[in-house]
Amino acid sequence: MQKRVIQEIMRSLQPQSGKTEPGNPGENGSFVSQLGLILFLTAIFFFNFLGRIVLAPLMPSIENDLGIAHAQAGSLFLLVSLGYFISLLCSGFLSSRINHRMTIIASAVSVGMVLLGISFSSSLWTIRLGLFFLGMSAGIYLPSGIATLTSLISVRHWGKTIATHELAPNLSFVVAPLLSEAIMIWFSWRVVIFFLGCCSILIGMAFAFLGRGGEFSGEAPNFGSLKALFGEPAFWIMTLLFSFGICGTLGIYTMLPLYLVTAQGIERSWANTLVAFSRISGVFMAFIAGWASDRMGPKLTMSGVFLITGLLTILLGTVSDAWIVVLVFLQPVMAACFFPPGFAALSSIGPPNARNIAVSLTIPAAFVFGGGAIPIGIGMMADAGHFALGIALAGGLILTGSFLALCLRSPR
């Protein structure tokens, strides 16, 4: 009964907004037949993500060039996150007016233009403003990108499709420091940002002329759609699961180097090297997770991922000596497996033209909790002299996701 009511609400909204719902790809929406589009969007997402995280390897040079302190440097990351958070929440208003395809193009081109502006900025305040708009420009991509992918690919191939798309952030973590160091052999940090800006503009223009898909409008958040979405238990479960998933990846990642140095007594350069190389596994594990999601379904795959990730994170906070090195590599191997089945499950909430709403509401909330509140909580435990316990408690929280995933009931 609830399912029929939600579907009727969604259908009643479409004539008023003039939107057209994409057709069911059916058997023609195979993974291989749409591989070109998948790789196109993955490339756009790659430069979108790379432009946001490249500040990390560039920060020592930026500090020296601008003469800023570490606290001021940290505030630059906060500005990017703040812009990204706001943009994700509001992305539905844009895609409902200019459709998903134009939103994707606008994101890629605007990210590139903002990066170019930052590369020529000499004032700290103009750079801060640029980074805020960088987050705003990047944030509108993800809901439209996911909606476009899932509208053209058969549901039985969603796991592999989103796993391919998730190559972008995983590769970005590996490429960002390598690309930065390669360019800075001859040039300054500004050239790195300028180069990425040009690449983002070019890939956006290429998609405008050569790409396809996304020629349908998104659903702008409104009372009817929000009421239907908030009335779905699956939406709230997915919000919690994404919070745990982001906690297992970004949340632990942000505190891990400090934990290894202060609590485990590992030398700083060796700790950073371990953390950097441990992320390479995510490039390959996303495909395995996508394959598992297509075979076993997103629910069982997520449950298994949370079970293993939670246990490994608990061990990360309890072992020492040589075992800590092993766990530094094993923990992100499993943590990275959440997102392909996670996005596949999230995309099943609501009709195709309302999928962007689920993404644009779930990710910001999960980011604040899993990528913000959890690291702060671990830091507070560390200040109290219980750093290892803070890591272990985060692992226990992730472990609860294994049982919560089994309670997931997709409305479609």
Residue 241 lies in a domain: yes
Do 181 and 309 sit in the same domain of this protein? no
Same-domain status, 236 and 202: no
In a domain, 7, yes or no: no
151 with 227, same domain: the answer is no
pLDDT for res 220: 60
Regions of the chain short of the pLDDT cut 70 = 1-34, 56-57, 59-60, 63, 68-75, 77-78, 95, 154-159, 213-229, 254, 257, 268-269, 272, 283, 350-360, 371-372, 410-412
43 with 177, same domain: the answer is yes
Same domain, 42 and 183: yes
Rounded-to-integer distance, Cα 11 and Cα 351, Å = 9
Residue 10 falls within a domain, yes or no? no
Tell me: do 184 and 231 sit in the same domain.
Answer: no
Do residue 269 and residue 355 come from a single domain? yes
What is the pTM assigned to this prediction? 0.65
CATH number of the domain where residue 250 is located = 1.20.1250.20
User: Rounded mean pLDDT of the chain?
Assistant: 76
Q: Please report whether residue 327 resides in a domain.
A: yes
Residue 13 forms part of a structural domain: no
Do the domain assignments include residue 116? Answer: yes
Whether 236 and 364 share a structural domain: yes
Do residues 352 and 403 share a domain?
yes
Please give the pLDDT value at position 69. Answer: 61
pLDDT value, residue 237: 86
Q: Do both 207 and 322 map to the same domain?
A: no
Among the candidates 171, 199, 218, a domain finishes at 218
Is residue 360 within 8 A of residue 88, CB to CB? The reply is: yes
Q: What is the pLDDT of residue 397?
A: 92
User: What is residue 408's predicted lDDT score, i.e. its pLDDT?
Assistant: 77
Which residue, 165, 189, 218, sits at the end of a domain?
218
If 0-12 CB within 10 Å is exposed, 13-18 middle and 19+ buried, where does residue 223 land? Answer: exposed
If one counts every other C-beta atom within 10 angstroms of the C-beta of residue 1, the result is 5
Q: Write out the residue range of the structural domain in which residue 45 sits.
A: 26-218
**Burial per residue of 362-400, b for 16 or more beta-carbon CB atoms within 10 angstroms, e otherwise:** bbbbbbebbbbebbebbeebbeeebbbebbbbbbebbbe
Cα–Cα distance for residue pair 412/407, rounded to 1 Å: 15
Rounded Cα distance between 92 and 220, Å, is: 4
Q: Are 199 and 59 found together in one domain?
A: yes
**176, 193, 218 — which closes off a domain?**
218
Report yes or no on 6 lying in a domain: no
Mutual angle of helices 70-119 and 55-66, in 10-degree steps: 100
Say what the pLDDT of residue 219 is: 61
The whole-number pLDDT of residue 71 equals 53
Q: Look at residue 18 and tell me if it is in a domain.
A: no
- How many distinct structural domains can be found in the chain? 2
Same domain? 207 vs 297: no
